[in-house]
Structure 1
Amino acid sequence: MANKLTEKTLSRLSKKYKLSKSTNLISFINENPENFENIELYQIAQYFDSKRRGEKPYYIELETLELIKNRLPEIKKKDIYIVDPICSVGIFLPMLIEKYGNKDKISFEFFDKDPETIEVARALWKLESHKRNISMSFQKKEFLNKRVNKNIDLMIGNFPNARTAHRVIRKEHPGLVKGHKQIQSYSTIYVKKAFVWSEYIVSIVPKNFLFTDEYKPVRDVMSKTNIHNIIDMDTKGFFNLKNENIILFNDFKTKLDYSNRVSVYSMKFKRDHHVNQKLLTSKTYPNWIIYRNGFFSRIARSLKLNTFNISRNVIPNITDDPYNAYWVIRGDNFDENSKIVKIPETDIYVHDDEIVSNTNLSKTLHRPDLYVLKSTLEKMQVDQKPRDTAASEKLIILELKENERELTEEDIKMLNSSDFKNYFNIATNFSSRSKTVDSITSFYLGKLDDQEEKDLSETTSISLDETMTDEFDVSKIEFKDEDDDYDEEDNN
């Protein structure tokens, strides 16, 4: 395996060869003056081409390519057609040739609307050993405007995370966004287009694919087809990028098998997890839960979920002068027992004349029936808000929904427990959403359920019980050492 290219090496190459200019980059590829391995040339090209295009420069890591290659589908056909709809410099090509090079014929069609990028990809293509069974077509055009004349056996792409106003996307691609007013990301419409023509799709998409309403129509379609693998890249997988991404391996050709178990690999934890697809994509919850297991369902069954409205304050100016002012609760005011306490030396206040009427601050200031939540990746802390106090902007205010009973001490103890935080981390797929609570993940906040009877509809709709046969226990992996052997069917 080639050595990892470092920031220092890339900086040196940039200064010496001026590689942000595409003609210089192509010359560098052709001459290879420093004897880089072919895959390193692809990475160098991807890094400097993305920089030229005004993006944050990056390249895909070798580990990521290897993980993808090992999970690519076995295609029985002898003549196959593979498309990359947004190929950049074509970095997937060596991996695809290695995987499928023994076929009678492979037809590649790679798209990119940037003509300079396509020329870089052509230069890299010349590095490959050209067998007679391989044909390559580079298209200097937007794949979204392409009418495909035959089924695609495999589509693979790193779909863009670029976001823009819905009206811009609607103007550019009206047919692909019709009926979906929430689409604001190009990755959504690339995946939608891929559905129409492809028998199998490998797609790198933002991790918020698992959560947001924007992707819900896509999730609904995918949930009705066989999901073979998911690679949770977390913030890894790309050099110099910290965006959270996942890779989905989706079979659109084979009839859905309701007993299908999805293999989920975590690049953060370096471990595999297997989960029944019916449970992973369950509509009982607002998002897909890729690490769902028996521990998660045991906690979820004990709770009445979706019981809070959440809000945050905007506090204009703070002071350390308590005169004619209200105490502002900060994260530091939670003690080790998750109780809100004063710290006279460092407490802050907001003056009465700074509070604007009809703001969240004014509406919540005097209410003692609210709760304050501090959430980090490691811990959740909840306590009742004292009357005549304000919660700082970094804290979350919890308001019980109409007709919900007040929280008991046992409810608050449960919300402050390490088990609850581990459950919440699973619910939020160990993503950046695990650090805080938003309008989607607030669904998972709850109180102990008083009812003895639970709805068994989800359990009876599947033939498998909830045993995940996990290779590792996700619920404990970061914060606990003991094993969780909980194993029972899903009665949520």
Structure 2
Amino acid sequence: MPKIKKLKYISLFSGAGLGCFGFKQEGFECVATVEIMEKRLKFQKFNNKCKFESGYIGDDISYSSTKKKINTELDKWSICEQNPLDVLIATPPCQGMSVANHKKGNELIRNSLIVESIKWVMEIQPKFFVFENVRSFLKTPCTDIDGENRKIGEAIELNLSGKYNILPTIINFKYYGCPSSRTRTIVLGVRKDLKEVTPYDILPAFNENTLTLRNTIGHLKPLKNMGDISSEDIYHNFKNYSPAMLDWIRNIKEGESSFDNEDPEKIPHKKNGPLMIFNVNKNGDKYRRQYWDKVAPCIHTRNDIISSQNTIHPKDNRVFSIREVMLMMSIPNNFSWTDKSFEELNRLSLSEKKSFLTQNEMTIRHSLGEGVPTIIFQQIAKKIKQYLDTRPLDLTIIKKIIEKFNLKDPGILHQFIIDKVGDHSYASLSKIAELANTERTDNAAYYTRQDICYSIVNDLPSAQKHKIFRILEPSIGVGNFLPLLIEKYRHVGQVIIDVVDIDSNSLKIFSLLNQSLNIPHNFKINVINDDFLLHHFENKYDLVIGNPPYKKLTLANSKLDEYKRKAFNYDTNNVFSFFIEKALRLGNIVALIAPKSLISTPEFNKTRYLLQSKNILKIVDYGEDGFKGVKIETISLIISSKPKKPYNRIKIESYITKQVYFKDQEYVTSDKFPYWLLYRNEFFDTVSCGLKFNVFSAFRDRQIKKVHTKSQGKIRVLKSRNIASNKIVNIDQYDCYVDDTSNLTVAKYINHEHAILIPNLTYNPRACFLPKETITDGSVAILTIKNGNRKITESDLQYYSTAEYKKFYTIARNYGTRSLNIDKNSVFFFGILQQ
């Protein structure tokens, strides 16, 4: 049996380790835990959280000495890029909420501890990270790494979302397995190199059937007298309070407060001589008896006093015992608050038990009030472990499965899905189905990974104010967006999804796959087997989302004229452009995946013009990472179809540079340049100021193929590798020739006096003049100067080989790898130096 690799995590600001105990329960090893309060750190030691004693770090995380200790532990476990940490957990105190700011030097640093957490994620780059905090966490201001003040949510996004898919969400834990109400912010991060997993996949499961207080603590024995301690459980105790308060709560019923008493003597008060000064009932939840048959209340730090929020037992005249609070916080019975065993504690005499509680009860209760329910982190740990232990099927394995079971036969494929619904994840089954579907290539449909879908769905509008939310997916395929749309919109009143596909087999597979999804009752799915571009839709939609086919139609295609009849861009025959236009007519928000060529090539000039008249909300540049096995660069766009508003900001997310930033739409789509520039920056603008653009026309041969050339001949045919800066390079067994150029369009450039040669499809631009008696094939662009421009010199051509111009050109070509043809748009950027 191979040795199972233990999963590892680090916990920052770990308190008593209540939440982290869930990771221990799931078999994770703790590399290091950082908690500045020694009493709470001891609780972690009692539970043997760390393998090494040095893993318990009781220092201020902002100190350099603390950072050294953490790094020492990472080294001890050989944590590095090749052996990455699995999870980083951080539950930092949020100083700014209490206006408890402090200064470092001359600068006000707000919420520096959350920024420290962000820095550690950036440095360690764990596979997953988990932040947990109060409801207002994301909107609280902090001073970010760059010294700018911004909201915590924005700081997390700007610093981490380049490398992580991130879900910031506010949830009530009572719907996620915790037996008490507790509304908190959870931020889940999944590293983008982990395929087929999204933050939704590690979020605890939603369950609207909550546990009641009776379900949670009803089995415990009543405690009627102050000071009572259960003989079976030292932590089930009646905490003392002032006897004068007993009359205040003695007769109140479930849901009632002492402030509801009619007798003034029984209303919470203080006496100042003969004067009775009544306490203030600020929140309406103090001195209030709880309901047996409702979910347990939120546990606060001061759960030890009856004057605090929602602390009074439904029947007994007391606050909840430690054990009851533990159960309400889902803390397992095997969690230890001391180095003594539970059995040892229960064998203590009554006076010894009281002494133990006197020394420890307040620290325990405060730790409970400020902790994370164990069940929440345990579910996250379990889901992370499940993913890492059973990675999704890769392309090679899927191809073998398809071949082994003959899944290209639709009937066999359908039965396979029915049989395997419980054995494989939705992502694996949909991938098998998409790749096995024999119609896939003809319809130009390709499997869209769940993590790619997430990069779009995560930034869609929340729709919380909608009673009915209508979604259209115009080319559903086997339905890869559906699981994430369910997670995104499960709390909306009613969600109606119309799904369309021209392929009936794909729709059959879609229906079968849905059996593995827990589709909420508020979702209604309508299936339409038709051509989206020709189908008449009765409704407008709040959202149109999908991955339309990328396919050029030939003039012989009978539908092309119909498709173009309503097209704004009739210069293209590519189906996806028609999909974009119709989606904009039908949807308020349009979110589509498209080829990266959309943002730059002449073929889509009109499509870009149409898109930039709307509000572009987000663009993701996947480069070649979007679709494995398909040699195409892709992007996704989220567009508001309403007319563009002034100063609209685009969120740009790059899988290439691993960065996220916000830019003005006018800046990205500026008409100073022939197409959109996603990576335009100050450096690009500075170089642009020194260049005169739009001075050349470009030509590339489309006729010469390898079969037409030979190793010797009258006219040399230059290819990309022959071109160097201001010279031609001879290459043995690479150089080629032709004898007859009479039928070649490129022949018109033979002996052209000022023609310039630049290799096509390269990030290594270089240029030289066209030599006598030569032509080029399609791997080289021929540039000729437009009228009115000065004579080009070798110094001009030399500039194209400089480091400055190469960096500039990389930005000008949007970091492309395949969409690098030199055409009438991109030739614009071969400027000449201003004189």
Q: TM-score, normalised by structure 2?
A: 0.49
In structure 1, distance between residues paired with 2:589 and 2:483: 19
In structure 1, distance between residues paired with 2:732 and 2:561: 57
Match of 1:264 in 2: 652
Match of 2:783 in 1: 398
Match of 1:411 in 2: 796
Query: Which amino acid in the other structure matches residue 269 of structure 1?
Result: T
User: SS at the partner of 1:381?
Assistant: coil
Query: Which amino acid in the other structure matches residue 789 of structure 2?
Result: E
Match of 2:539 in 1: 150
Query: Which amino acid in the other structure matches residue 726 of structure 2?
Result: K
**Counterpart contact for 1:312–1:396, Cα < 8 Å:** yes
Query: Which amino acid in the other structure matches residue 399 of structure 1?
Result: T
Match of 2:456 in 1: 68
Residues 328 and 109 of structure 1, relative CA distance in 2, 3 Å threshold: closer
Query: Which amino acid in the other structure matches residue 339 of structure 1?
Result: N
1:370 equivalent to 2:734? Answer no
Query: Could you list the per-position Cα deviations for residues 324-375 of structure 1 after superposition, in whole angstroms to 9, with x for gaps in the alignment?
Result: x45555544455xx23156496685647xx2435855543332342222235
**Counterpart contact for 2:619–2:653, Cα < 8 Å:** yes
In structure 2, distance between residues paired with 1:219 and 1:196: 15
Match of 2:764 in 1: 379
Match of 1:278 in 2: 666
1:176 equivalent to 2:566? Answer yes
Match of 2:727 in 1: 340
In structure 2, distance between residues paired with 1:357 and 1:174: 37
User: SS at the partner of 1:247?
Assistant: strand
User: SS at the partner of 2:437?
Assistant: helix
**Counterpart contact for 1:433–1:441, Cα < 8 Å:** no
Residues 38 and 375 of structure 1, relative CA distance in 2, 3 Å threshold: closer
The structural deviation recorded for 1:202 is 0.5
Query: Could you list the per-position Cα deviations for residues 241-271 of structure 1 after superposition, in whole angstroms to 9, with x for gaps in the alignment?
Result: 2222211001124x53322221111223322
Query: Which amino acid in the other structure matches residue 106 of structure 1?
Result: V
Match of 1:190 in 2: 579
Match of 2:405 in 1: 17
The structural deviation recorded for 1:15 is 2.8
Residues 130 and 383 of structure 1, relative CA distance in 2, 3 Å threshold: closer
In structure 1, distance between residues paired with 2:786 and 2:423: 65
Query: Could you list the per-position Cα deviations for residues 81-131 of structure 1 after superposition, in whole angstroms to 9, with x for gaps in the alignment?
Result: 111011011111100000110111111110112222211111112222132
Match of 1:107 in 2: 496
1:220 equivalent to 2:609? Answer yes
Higher relative contact order (CA 8 A, sep 6+): 1
Residues 87 and 385 of structure 1, relative CA distance in 2, 3 Å threshold: same
The structural deviation recorded for 1:34 is 7.3
Match of 1:309 in 2: 697
In structure 1, distance between residues paired with 2:528 and 2:731: 67
In structure 1, distance between residues paired with 2:675 and 2:525: 39
In structure 2, distance between residues paired with 1:158 and 1:418: 38
**Counterpart contact for 2:456–2:638, Cα < 8 Å:** no
Q: 280-289 vs 425-434, which deviates more?
A: 425-434
Query: Which amino acid in the other structure matches residue 79 of structure 1?
Result: I
Aligned with residue 28 of structure 1, among 416, 428, 435: 416
User: SS at the partner of 2:653?
Assistant: strand
In structure 1, distance between residues paired with 2:753 and 2:516: 70
Residues 50 and 272 of structure 1, relative CA distance in 2, 3 Å threshold: farther
Query: Could you list the per-position Cα deviations for residues 12-47 of structure 1 after superposition, in whole angstroms to 9, with x for gaps in the alignment?
Result: 311332222222222222221771112222222222
* Structure whose CA Rg is larger: 2
Q: What does 1:397-476 align with in structure 2 at a 5 Å threshold? A: 397-432=782-817, 435-450=820-835
Cα RMSD (Å):
2.8
Match of 1:487 in 2: none
The structural deviation recorded for 1:199 is 0.5
The structural deviation recorded for 1:205 is 1.3
The structural deviation recorded for 1:137 is 0.9
The structural deviation recorded for 1:188 is 1.3
Q: What does 1:204-243 align with in structure 2 at a 5 Å threshold? A: 204-243=593-632
Match of 2:288 in 1: none
> What are structure 1's unaligned runs of at least 5 residues?
451-492
User: SS at the partner of 1:199?
Assistant: strand
**Counterpart contact for 1:377–1:434, Cα < 8 Å:** no
Residues 389 and 240 of structure 1, relative CA distance in 2, 3 Å threshold: closer
The structural deviation recorded for 1:274 is 2.7
User: SS at the partner of 1:429?
Assistant: coil
> What are structure 2's unaligned runs of at least 5 residues?
1-196, 198-386
Query: Which amino acid in the other structure matches residue 260 of structure 1?
Result: N
Residues 40 and 372 of structure 1, relative CA distance in 2, 3 Å threshold: same
1:246 equivalent to 2:631? Answer no
Query: Could you list the per-position Cα deviations for residues 451-487 of structure 1 after superposition, in whole angstroms to 9, with x for gaps in the alignment?
Result: xxxxxxxxxxxxxxxxxxxxxxxxxxxxxxxxxxxxx
In structure 1, distance between residues paired with 2:602 and 2:519: 44
Aligned with residue 203 of structure 1, among 584, 592, 606: 592
Query: Could you list the per-position Cα deviations for residues 351-409 of structure 1 after superposition, in whole angstroms to 9, with x for gaps in the alignment?
Result: 7xx24358555433323422222355331111223444444553222221223211234
Query: Could you list the per-position Cα deviations for residues 46-70 of structure 1 after superposition, in whole angstroms to 9, with x for gaps in the alignment?
Result: 2222556656784222321222232
Aligned-pair identity (%): 24
The structural deviation recorded for 1:419 is 1.9
In structure 2, distance between residues paired with 1:378 and 1:121: 42
**Counterpart contact for 1:275–1:291, Cα < 8 Å:** no
In structure 1, distance between residues paired with 2:426 and 2:775: 59
Query: Which amino acid in the other structure matches residue 448 of structure 2?
Result: I
Query: Which amino acid in the other structure matches residue 612 of structure 2?
Result: S
**Counterpart contact for 2:716–2:774, Cα < 8 Å:** yes
Q: TM-score, normalised by structure 1?
A: 0.81
Match of 2:297 in 1: none
Query: Could you list the per-position Cα deviations for residues 142-186 of structure 1 after superposition, in whole angstroms to 9, with x for gaps in the alignment?
Result: 222333223201110111111113573443435423x64313011
In structure 1, distance between residues paired with 2:605 and 2:729: 44
Residues 198 and 307 of structure 1, relative CA distance in 2, 3 Å threshold: same
Match of 2:741 in 1: 356
